[in-house]
Amino acid sequence: MTKKLTLGKTERLKSRKLIDQLFSEGKKFGIAPFRVFYLYTASEKPSLQCGVGVSSKNFKKSVDRNTVKRKMREAYRLQKNGLADCIKEKNYSFHLFVIYTSKELPVYAEVHDSMKKVLDKLCNMINKGE
């Protein structure tokens, strides 16, 4: 059976309270051109939620910001299953927020490769228990 490559409402990080907690208490790291914030806790019902953001300081036009966010969500959607499997094994509730930090509009292939590195690093951290 193939896994669904969707990004539904329950998989998006929308709660202001959770986002604030993520930025204040969560851990972070950077893999160019992303800054990644994450927070995970043990849970009976494993879940994975992700949010993306782009600075309006770097991209004045909302069209450009939305284009970058769309590319980031698409790259995440296609590659999240590896991370989802790691989370299910460990029974974690995992929250993730990815911020695009570069000042240039990205090509999709670049975003896809960087998102792969981010998700691989997160999966390795979970397996090591960091």
Here the contacts of 20-24 (C-beta below 8 Å, separation 24 or greater) are: 22/95, 22/97, 23/97
Question: Does residue 4 lie in a domain region?
Answer: no
Question: Does residue 6 lie in a domain region?
Answer: no
Amino acid identity, position 15: S
pLDDT in tens, 99-117: 999 999 999 999 999 999 9
- pLDDT at 1 > cutoff 60: no
User: Of the candidates 110, 87, 102, which has an alpha carbon nearest to the alpha carbon of residue 38?
Assistant: 87
Q: What pTM value is reported for the model?
A: 0.93
pLDDT of residue 2: 58
Question: Does residue 18 lie in a domain region?
Answer: yes
CATH number for the domain that contains residue 53: 3.30.230.10
| Distances in whole angstroms, Cα of residue 110 to Cα of each of 105, 106, 114 | 10, 7, 6
Indicate the number of domains in the chain.
1
Question: Does residue 32 lie in a domain region?
Answer: yes
Sign of CA dihedral 109, 114, 118, 121: positive
pLDDT of residue 83: 94
Q: Are 14 and 73 in contact (CB under 8 A)?
A: no
Q: What domain range includes position 65?
A: 13-128
Question: Does residue 99 lie in a domain region?
Answer: yes
Question: Does residue 2 lie in a domain region?
Answer: no
Question: Does residue 7 lie in a domain region?
Answer: no
Question: Does residue 71 lie in a domain region?
Answer: yes
